[in-house]
């Protein structure tokens, strides 16, 4: 390694921090750190190890700098992002690519040389007068075949504190890398601050350099744009998985209890605000993770680990009735970061929280009163629709005992689900792996929510719930899924779930707790214990099985009329969906596998034959049991 990096670092770091850095004999790391310091010009650099004193320093400084405020309950803090910095921003999140590199219709891409020039210009001098933090984390269980090391430099103590809750410490693991360049680097600066928040949001940029596996983020504080090992690193992990023949996915991992002491593990892909976390947190079941998963083939089976060790979750509608375990973690002493909620007398409030919201307080817009308007005349809600909480998984009472298993957990089923008001039945199982990947995963649609900036309620194409993060050509990404179970004797079963099907009057056909019955049915199907009805789009449950499960799980009566209304096949809507999906794959994706069109055509043929016999709405009784 060029000596100039060592010499420069010796001139910039205090001896105690220089010693911590030099213990990591990695040329790429020293170049990255030296370049970041020279570019951003911080007043000082603090190198954080896995030592509890270093971690405590970050938490203390988050309070002292005002990035977080102490709340009334011990350990609780609150952070506010700027009014226009409240979600992932697709418009300014881009890949940096070499000329001619094709990625397909994912997020935007820009020329690597021009993109680096632009964002480095915004980063230049951005940390003047502030302290830079150097952090190390492990994505996945430490020292596992799944684990990926990550290093981040940031000037935000809030961002660093959030990462302490969300990821496993990785300094000691980093020592084992030697001179390997196989890790992810992140550089973030909040930029110029006014009243403690990023002021130059018009110059917000989140760029992912695919060549050097580096992430740059500037002029933003919202964690989804700045916690580099979340969705930003997911994009790089997808490329690594593509190279190494495994899968990096936007998926929950949960354990579902069966008869006796049996636990069956599921992964599940749901776009934001579509029930992913609430599914992972179903009472009586266990959670491994709620957001990101790495999947590998090990010893003839599919196994998965949670990339993270915490939750950065949407807090809206979290209440003691619907989310008792999360509610308990949020309302007892312990380390919790609330973001963009309403604060009154040191107590956090949010919409749908089951408590009366005060008429005034403080939120991300500053002093707030009921009826407050923003500059455009729109009402400012007490808490932002995308307000969040950040906690460690170990603070949940339902954490699965195998959550940190370095070998992962065996996957019995995969669930795909989105916001769909008029097409998919609440629950169905694919005919086989290929049918599920194509008609459920690659065909996933969902109405947009507040988690992404822009209009809400728009039906969006969301293959595998991962469209925003796919960093390889989309057709190849689907082909990787199709090929993934090669050599697996019993591939996981694939299911589609829809918690948002509506009646003609606009009301939801199912209650929020009904999803618990759906996953119990899936668990029984994985273990071969229940029959099903074959329909043109997949297998659906029998009424008598659901009625028994509703009674056992929810102590509710499930009527035949409710079953028929929910599981009636809506042929017109399903054919319209096929039209939309096929058009996208034909016109917007250059490398779509031909098998995708074949499987969609077979589904269309089945739907049209059923319509010829039974019409546009078909009761489950019209189909045969299998």
Measured distance CA(92)–CA(113) in Å, rounded: 16
The secondary structure element, H or E, covering residue 7 is helix 3-12
Measured distance CA(473)–CA(152) in Å, rounded: 27
Measured distance CA(520)–CA(413) in Å, rounded: 12
- Could you confirm whether 40 is annotated as catalytic? no
Measured distance CA(420)–CA(444) in Å, rounded: 9
Burial tier of 294 (Cβ tally within 10 Å: 0-12, 13-18, 19+): buried
Burial tier of 8 (Cβ tally within 10 Å: 0-12, 13-18, 19+): middle
3-state secondary structure 355-384: CCCCCEEEECCEEEECCCECCCCCECCCCC
Measured distance CA(156)–CA(304) in Å, rounded: 32
Measured distance CA(226)–CA(237) in Å, rounded: 17
Contact (Cβ atoms closer than 8 angstroms) between residue 438 and residue 290:
no
Please identify which of the residues 40, 48, 185, 274 carries the catalytic annotation: 274
For the CA atoms of 503, 580, 497, 450, the dihedral, rounded to the nearest 10 degrees, stands at: -80
DSSP 570: E
Partners of 187 in the beta sheet? 153, 216
Contact (Cβ atoms closer than 8 angstroms) between residue 86 and residue 381:
no
Cβ-count burial 500-528 (b if 16+ within 10 Å, e if not): bbeeeeeeebbeebbbbbbbbbbbbbbee
Beta-carbon contacts of residue 408 (< 8 Å; ≥ 6 apart)? 144, 146, 294, 296, 298, 303, 304, 305
Contact (Cβ atoms closer than 8 angstroms) between residue 495 and residue 520:
no
Cα angle: 451, vertex 452, 456; to 5 degrees: 90
Measured distance CA(229)–CA(184) in Å, rounded: 8
Contact (Cβ atoms closer than 8 angstroms) between residue 295 and residue 304:
yes
Contact (Cβ atoms closer than 8 angstroms) between residue 399 and residue 286:
yes
Measured distance CA(317)–CA(387) in Å, rounded: 11
DSSP 394: G
| Residues with active-site annotation | 274
């Amino acid at each position: 390694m060029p000596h100039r990096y060592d010499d420069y670092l010796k001139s910039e770091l205090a001896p105690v921090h220089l010693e911590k850095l030099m213990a990591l004999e990695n040329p790429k790391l020293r170049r990255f750190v030296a370049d970041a310091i020279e570019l951003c010009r911080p007043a000082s650099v603090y190198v954080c190890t896995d030592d509890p004193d270093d971690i405590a320093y970050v938490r203390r400084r988050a309070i002292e700098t005002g990035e977080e405020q102490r709340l009334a309950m011990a350990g609780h803090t609150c952070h506010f992002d700027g009014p226009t910095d409240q979600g992932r921003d697709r418009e300014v999140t881009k890949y940096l690519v070499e000329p001619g590199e094709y990625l397909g219709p994912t997020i935007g891409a820009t020329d690597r040389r021009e993109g680096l020039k632009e964002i480095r210009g915004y980063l230049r001098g951005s940390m003047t007068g502030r302290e830079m933090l150097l952090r190390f984390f492990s994505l996945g269980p430490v020292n596992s075949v799944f684990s990926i090391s990550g290093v981040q430099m940031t000037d935000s103590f809030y961002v660093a504190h959030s990462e302490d809750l969300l990821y496993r410490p990785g300094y000691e693991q980093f020592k084992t890398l030697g001179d390997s360049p196989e890790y992810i680097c992140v550089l973030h600066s909040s930029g110029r601050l006014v009243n403690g928040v990023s002021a130059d949001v018009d110059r917000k940029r989140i760029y992912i350099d695919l060549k050097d596996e580096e992430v740059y983020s500037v002029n933003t504080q919202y964690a989804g744009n700045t916690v580099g090992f979340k969705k930003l690193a997911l994009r790089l992990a997808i490329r690594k998985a593509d190279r190494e023949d495994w899968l990096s996915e936007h998926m929950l991992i949960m354990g579902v209890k069966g008869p006796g002491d049996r636990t069956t593990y599921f992964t599940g892909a749901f776009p934001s605000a579509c029930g992913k976390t609430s599914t992972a947190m179903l009472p009586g079941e266990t959670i491994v993770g709620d957001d990101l998963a790495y999947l590998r083939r090990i010893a003839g089976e599919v196994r998965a680990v949670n990339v993270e060790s915490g939750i950065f979750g949407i807090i809206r509608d979290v209440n003691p009735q619907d989310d008792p375990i999360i509610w308990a973690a949020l309302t007892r002493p312990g380390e919790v970061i609330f973001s963009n909620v309403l604060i009154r007398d040191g107590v956090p409030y949010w919409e749908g929280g089951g408590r009366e919201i005060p008429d005034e307080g403080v939120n991300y817009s500053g002093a707030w009163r009921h009826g407050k308007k923003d500059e455009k005349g729109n009402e400012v809600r007490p808490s932002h629709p995308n307000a969040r909480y950040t906690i460690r998984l170990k603070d949940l009472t339902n954490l699965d005992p195998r959550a940190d298993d370095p070998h992962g957990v065996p996957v019995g089923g995969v669930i795909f689900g989105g916001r769909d008001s008029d097409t998919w039945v609440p629950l169905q199982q694919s005919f086989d792996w290929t049918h599920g990947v194509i008609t459920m995963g690659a065909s996933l649609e969902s109405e947009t929510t507040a988690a992404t900036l822009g209009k809400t309620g728009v039906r969006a194409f969301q293959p595998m719930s991962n469209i925003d993060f796919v960093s390889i050509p989309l057709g190849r990404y689907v082909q990787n899924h199709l090929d993934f179970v090669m050599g697996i004797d019993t591939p996981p079963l694939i299911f589609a779930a829809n918690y948002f099907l509506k009646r003609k009057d606009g009301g939801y056909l199912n209650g929020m707790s009904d999803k618990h019955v759906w996953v119990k049915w899936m668990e029984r199907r994985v273990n071969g214990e229940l029959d099903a009805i074959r329909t043109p789009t997949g297998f659906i449950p029998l009424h008598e099985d659901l009625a028994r499960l509703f009674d056992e799980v929810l102590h509710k009566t499930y009527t035949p009329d409710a079953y028929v209304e929910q599981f009636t096949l809506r042929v017109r809507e399903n054919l319209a969906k096929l039209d939309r999906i096929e058009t996208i794959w034909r016109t917007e994706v250059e490398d779509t596998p031909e098998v995708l069109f074949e499987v969609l055509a077979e589904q269309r043929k089945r739907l049209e034959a059923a319509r010829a016999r039974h019409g546009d709405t078909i009761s489950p009784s019209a189909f045969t049991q299998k």
